Amino acid sequence: MLLSCSVQAIPVMAAELDDFMAQAADVKNSLNLSPNQQRLWSQVEAKMRAIAEARRRRRGQLQTDMKKGLSDPRAELRDLAKTLDAEYDQSHQENKQLREFFLTVSDALDDNQRQKILVLLSDQLQRVEDTGSESKCPATPVRSTGRQRPGGGPGSPQQ
Rounded distance between C-alpha atoms, residue 92 and residue 157, angstroms: 9
Give the residue-averaged pLDDT of 140-150.
Answer: 39
Q: What is the pLDDT of residue 121?
A: 83
Q: Is residue 28 part of a domain?
A: yes
Residue 90 lies in a domain: yes
Host domain of residue 114: 17-131
Q: Is the pLDDT of residue 5 over 50?
A: no
Task: Give me the number of domains the chain comprises.
Answer: 1
Instruction: Please report whether residue 51 resides in a domain.
Output: yes
Q: Is residue 58 part of a domain?
A: yes
Q: Which residues contact 19 (CB under 8 A, 6 or more apart)?
A: 8, 10, 143
Instruction: Express each pLDDT in 56-110 by its tens digit.
Output: 999 999 999 999 999 999 999 999 999 999 999 999 999 999 999 999 999 999 9
In a domain, 55, yes or no: yes
Distance CA 41, CA 19 (A): 17
Residue 76 within a domain: yes
pTM: 0.68
* Residue spans of beta strands (DSSP E) within the chain: none
